């Protein structure tokens, strides 16, 4: 199984700061990584597909990059509504797997 | 508009089973695989498996092979997941989810989730 390691586990920031969240795969997965935001008691929401492809309706402050084993989700100027948990997911091979998540919290 | 409407919260005793439903609207469930995902806040998200409602073919993550059974009723456009021999480890929110293609990719559509609580 492909293991996705997300870091940091928790990131404390002030609104207006820009942040980068990391997702590292246990083997090369090309660009088969997708990013989600999940708020408490809600379903996950897709933010980025295939590492860097934008999603309709998602604010432009969210962007993704990377290929192979190292991937990054960047949020330019964090807003109050962005404080939640972020997960990466790989679709390179079955079983599909998710990272353990990064919690973005208010400093 | 694609929507996935899941059944309500469940409370079960250890050792029992539960069957969750996911009713699709806005499309025919035979056109796409239906996936199920487990969420526990302290453990994150786990993929359980998928079912192809067109022919009933299923694929499970090894961890859930003996725990989950996926079925579908095309006449009601509904997918189901039965969880057996429940333990406290099965206490979680379970989501049904759909991709935009038949090959593995990203989850574009999610149900609202069903909370299953296992407690004596």
pLDDT of residue B103: 81
Q: Which of B59, B95, B104 comes nearest A43 by C-beta?
A: B95
pLDDT of residue B101: 82
Residue B88, SS3? helix
The C-alpha of A61 sits at a distance from chain B's nearest C-alpha, in angstroms, of 20
pLDDT of residue A87: 98
The C-alpha of A23 sits at a distance from chain B's nearest C-alpha, in angstroms, of 14
d(CA A1, CA B60): 13
State pLDDT tens for residues A7-31: 999 999 999 999 999 999 999 999 9
Question: Which residue numbers in chain B have pLDDT < 50?
Answer: none
pLDDT of residue A96: 97
pLDDT of residue B104: 84
A96 to B47: CB separation less than 8 angstroms, yes or no:
yes
Chain B interface mutation, best of A39, A41, A95, A99, highest count of B Cβ atoms under 10 Å: A95
Q: Can you tell me the mean pLDDT for A92-104?
A: 97
State pLDDT tens for residues A67-90: 999 999 999 999 999 999 999 999
d(CA B99, CA B97): 7
Q: How far is CA A2 from the centre of its chain?
A: 16
> Quick check: A6 and A23 in contact, CB under 8 A?
yes
């Amino acid at each position: 199984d492909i293991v996705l390691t997300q870091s940091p586990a928790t990131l404390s920031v002030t609104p207006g700061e820009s942040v980068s969240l990391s997702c590292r795969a246990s083997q090369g997965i090309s660009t088969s990584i997708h990013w989600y935001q999940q708020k408490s008691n809600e379903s996950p929401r897709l933010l980025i597909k295939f590492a860097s492809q934008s999603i309709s309706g998602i604010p432009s402050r969210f962007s993704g990059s990377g290929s192979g084993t190292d991937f990054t989700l960047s949020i330019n100027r964090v807003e109050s509504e962005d404080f939640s948990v972020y997960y990466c997911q790989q679709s390179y091979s079955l079983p599909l797997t998710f990272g353990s998540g990064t919690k973005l919290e208010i400093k | 508009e694609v929507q996935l409407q899941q059944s309500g919260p469940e409370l079960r005793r250890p050792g029992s089973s539960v069957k969750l439903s996911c009713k699709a609207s806005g499309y025919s469930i035979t056109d796409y695989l239906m996936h199920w995902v487990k969420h526990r806040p302290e453990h994150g998200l786990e993929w359980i498996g998928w079912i192809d409602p067109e022919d009933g073919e299923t694929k499970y993550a090894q961890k859930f092979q003996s725990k989950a059974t996926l079925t579908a009723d095309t006449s009601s456009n509904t997918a189901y997941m039965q969880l057996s021999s429940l333990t406290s480890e099965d206490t979680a929110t379970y989501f049904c989810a759909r991709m935009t293609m038949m090959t593995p990719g990203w989850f574009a559509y999610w149900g609202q989730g069903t909370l299953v609580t296992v407690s004596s």
